[in-house]
Amino acid sequence: MIITTTEGIAGRSYDTLGLVSGSTVQTVNALRDIGASFKTLVGGELKKYNEMMGTARDLATQRMVENAARLGADAIVSVRYSSAEIMQGAAEVMVYGTAVKLK
């Protein structure tokens, strides 16, 4: 499956199949969340949150690709990601794009 943030694929034409998306809500261990609160006092990277967001992006992307495959897509164009905090230590990641069938 070709996934791109551009509106098209250079040198290729396609038929539009429709909007596809994927999302997940992820959280970190409550004890790690407390540890991260202390980290804000001294500054620095919150590695467990970075890992959580990476996992969330991967899972959301996988779900979007599965949705596109069910439509018979070869590619997804105009892909965009968004995220939102759901509660302390939990975030939703959503990815969406346009499923297309290459000619």
The CATH number assigned to the domain holding 57 equals 3.30.110.70
Per-residue pLDDT at 36? 54
- In angstroms, the Cα distances linking 83 to 13, 35, 90, 94 are 31, 22, 10, 6
Residue ranges in the chain assigned as alpha helix (H): 30-42, 47-70
Domain that holds residue 26: 2-102
Q: How many distinct structural domains can be found in the chain?
A: 1
Per-residue pLDDT at 96? 98
Q: Does the pTM of the predicted model rise above 0.85?
A: no
**Half-sphere exposure (Cβ direction) of 36: Cα atoms closer than 13 Å:** 17
Q: In tens digits, what is the pLDDT along the chain, a chain of 103 residues?
A: 999 999 999 999 999 999 999 999 988 765 555 555 555 666 677 777 888 889 999 999 999 999 999 999 999 999 999 999 888 778 899 999 999 999 9
* Helix H or strand E encompassing 103: none
Per-residue pLDDT at 39? 53
